């Protein structure tokens, strides 16, 4: 190779190395900045712009027969308010002494003084004081409170107040950063941050709220405060924590703000909240039940009982139907249905998509109204127990008196239980109403017919029974011969 060509080639190599080194040197500080600043966001601007609309709420509870007490805790102990909220109270116990004030948080949603908080923060309060970030204090009145959703709307007489922008919790993504501002243990305007851990969480006795789960540090006093996204929009109201110690353990739950805003709009308009109901008892669809009912997958809400004369019965829903959509919204699990139905306006007509006998179909239903009265809730037929054939059951025909007592037209009453049925928690006194075979539900009217069907089952074969007990009817899946 000519000397000049070799020199040119060497110069090109040196140039490439120089360019590569320059690129590496330029990217190195960016990587450091990315790791230190971009991945971990700066919350200072959010707090400075929106913190002034967060308020401290102090509520003096009504006095009743005497003070509520917890062993080892005085009423001036910060943990007292936590236990007052989260430990069930016996009906005869009073709230707290009027000298004691429960602390909570809230946030302003309108410049003329409307404030959102939790219903439990102002529950039974004789006097409510709201303190702003500039130390001004106002007496507040309760416009309305909804214990079912734990949302309350209160009002102070003020004007030109800072207010918060409302975001869309449906756009939240698991893993997204969120920020809470509140008054834990009375420490005003404390800021904590974390991520969204999960969405649509169901909690015991909280059927109407699809909670946002976060790992934001929330403690007693944070209740009612806002949960922000990084845009500074409110996406939730901090409401509950899960704890075995009384302190924060990484599990906190917020009420989605779209649900809260719907509740406050109704409270402002009429002082009460209307919720839909259709009059069914439901249970989760397991893989075994999906197989028994010939479903394409384990999803939906399985109807285990239908209230006589209720909206569902009038629409033609039947025991054994599996609801997969309600009003165009997917029902992935049984917990989805109460929330979707309750959000429907009473009197509205809604289309239900369901599976019956393994086939898809649609029904139209007129939504009824949920009333917090036992007589208006889904009526649950009494359920009696099973007893021994190949499934471990000894059955008999119920007497006319038993049929009237249990309000059933057919079925077999359980007289003894052992083996497979006992392990599946079937009990003496249960009534086996039907067997699901080939994706179809077959009512049981004769003991010998049922025993022949059971005798034909192969060991390991799944069989699903519809069983009625005092608390309602449920589908139970058993595996023969185990």
Q: Which sign, positive or negative, has the C-alpha torsion 146, 266, 103, 51?
A: positive
Catalytic residue among 120, 190, 344, 353: 120
Residue closest to 466 by CA, chosen among 353, 438, 28, 437: 437
Distances (CA, A) of 40 to 87, 178, 235, 316, 423: 37, 12, 20, 54, 51
Catalytic residue among 58, 223, 239, 292: 223
Q: Tokens 């599946």 identify what position?
A: 424
Burial readout 32-43 (b: 16 or more C-beta within 10 A, e: otherwise): eeeeeeeeeeeb
List Cβ neighbours of 373 (8 Å cut-off, separation of 6 or more). none
**Active-site annotation holds for 150:** yes
Is the Cβ–Cβ distance between 194 and 217 less than 8 Å? yes
Q: Output the furthest CA–CA distance in the chain (Å, rounded).
A: 114
Catalytic residue among 150, 188, 321, 336: 150
Instruction: Give the residue numbers marked as catalytic.
Output: 120, 150, 223
């Amino acid at each position: 190779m000519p000397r000049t060509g070799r020199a040119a080639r060497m110069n090109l190599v040196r140039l490439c190395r120089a360019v590569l080194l320059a690129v590496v040197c330029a990217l190195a500080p960016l990587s450091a900045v990315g790791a230190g600043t971009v991945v971990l966001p700066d919350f200072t601007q959010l707090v400075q712009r929106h913190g002034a609309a967060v308020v401290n709420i102090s509520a003096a509870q009504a006095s009743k027969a005497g003070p509520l007490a917890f062993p080892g805790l005085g009423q001036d102990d910060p943990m007292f308010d936590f236990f007052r909220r989260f430990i069930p109270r016996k009906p005869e116990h009073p709230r707290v002494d009027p000298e004691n004030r429960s602390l909570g948080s809230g946030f302003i949603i309108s410049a003329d003084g409307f404030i959102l908080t939790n219903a439990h923060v102002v529950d039974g309060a004789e006097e409510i004081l709201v303190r702003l970030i500039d130390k001004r204090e106002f007496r507040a009145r309760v416009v309305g409170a909804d214990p079912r959703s734990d949302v309350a709307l209160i009002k102070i007489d003020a004007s030109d107040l800072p207010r918060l922008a409302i975001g869309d919790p449906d756009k939240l993504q698991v893993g997204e950063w969120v920020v809470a501002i509140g008054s834990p243990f009375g420490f005003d305007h404390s800021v904590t941050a974390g991520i969204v851990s999960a969405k649509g969480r169901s909690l015991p006795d909280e059927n109407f709220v699809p909670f946002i789960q976060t790992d934001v540090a929330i403690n007693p006093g944070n209740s009612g405060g806002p949960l922000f996204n990084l845009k500074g929009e409110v996406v939730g109201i901090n409401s509950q924590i899960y704890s075995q110690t009384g302190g924060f353990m990484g599990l906190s739950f917020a009420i989605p703000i779209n649900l809260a805003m719907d509740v406050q709009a109704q409270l402002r308009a009429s002082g009460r909240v209307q919720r839909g109901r259709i009059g069914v008892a439901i249970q989760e669809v397991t893989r075994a039940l999906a197989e028994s009912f010939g479903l394409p997958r384990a999803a939906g809400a399985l109807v285990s009982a239908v209230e006589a004369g209720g909206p569902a019965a009038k629409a033609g829903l039947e025991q054994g139907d599996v609801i997969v959509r309600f009003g165009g919204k997917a029902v992935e699990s049984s917990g989805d249905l109460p929330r979707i139905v309750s959000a429907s306006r009473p009197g509205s007509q809604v289309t239900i998509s369901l599976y019956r006998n393994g086939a898809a179909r649609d029904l139209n239903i007129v939504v009824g109204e949920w009333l917090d009265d036992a007589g208006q809730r889904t009526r649950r037929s009494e359920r009696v127990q099973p007893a021994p054939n190949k499934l471990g059951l000894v059955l008999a025909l119920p007497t006319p008196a038993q049929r009237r007592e249990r309000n059933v037209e057919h079925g077999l009453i359980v007289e003894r239980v052992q083996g497979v049925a006992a392990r599946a928690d079937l009990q003496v006194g249960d009534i086996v109403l039907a067997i699901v075979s080939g994706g179809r539900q077959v009512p049981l009217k004769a003991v010998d017919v049922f025993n022949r069907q059971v005798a034909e089952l192969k060991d390991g074969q799944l069989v699903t029974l519809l069983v009625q007990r005092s608390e309602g009817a449920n589908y139970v899946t058993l595996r023969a011969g185990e």
